[in-house]
Amino acid sequence: MLTVASVFERGSGMSEQFGVDPETLTELAGRFDREATGLAGPIAAFSGSAAEIGQAFGLLGICDGASEKYRQLLENTVKAIGHLPDVLRSDGDRLRLNVTHYTDSDRTALGYLHSAASGGRP
């Protein structure tokens, strides 16, 4: 892994190092995928059980529309939660894409450094 500070001498104004560990990003992407897959059951269970409100609002709930408002809120919540697996999978895909970009950038930078160190000879 190439770090910015390793290219420059100490005292050149570079006070921090920046590095990315591709293996860590790849592992995190895998965790996102596993979590996305594991959410299907709990989301279905939540939407099924939360809809069973019975007489939670009583007659007053029917009169002032509380039960209808709850139903609408639940419907919107279930819809939003239903997007979570796709969001996690998309984030995992982006992490893997970042791994590719960082790896390519490191490879290119190392190539330039090796070329400069050898006086431009391959």
In a domain, residue 114? The reply is no
In a domain, residue 82? The reply is yes
User: For 57, phi and psi rounded to 5 degrees?
Assistant: -100, -5
Q: What is the pLDDT of residues 39-56, one digit of tens each?
A: 989 998 888 887 777 666
* pLDDT at residue 70, as a whole number: 83
* Structure tokens, 31: 């965790």
In a domain, residue 9? The reply is no
Q: Which domain holds residue 92?
A: 23-107
In a domain, residue 1? The reply is no
Please name the residue that has the structure tokens 């860590």.
24
In a domain, residue 118? The reply is no
In a domain, residue 32? The reply is yes
Question: Considering all CA atoms of the chain, what is the largest pairwise distance in Å, rounded to the nearest integer?
Answer: 86
* pLDDT at residue 55, as a whole number: 65
In a domain, residue 77? The reply is yes
* Structure tokens, 47: 């939407």
In a domain, residue 13? The reply is no
Task: Give the 3-state secondary structure of residue 20.
Answer: coil
* pLDDT at residue 5, as a whole number: 39
Confidence of residue 1 (pLDDT cuts 50, 70, 90): very low
4: nearest Cα among 13, 101, 119: 13
Give percent of the chain above pLDDT 70: 75
Q: What is the pLDDT of residues 67-93, one digit of tens each?
A: 788 889 989 999 999 999 999 999 999
* Structure tokens, 33: 């995928």
Q: Residue 96 above 60 pLDDT?
A: yes
∠ CA 106-34-86, rounded to 5°: 85
Q: How many domains does the chain have?
A: 1
Q: Which residues contact 94 (CB under 8 A, 6 or more apart)?
A: none
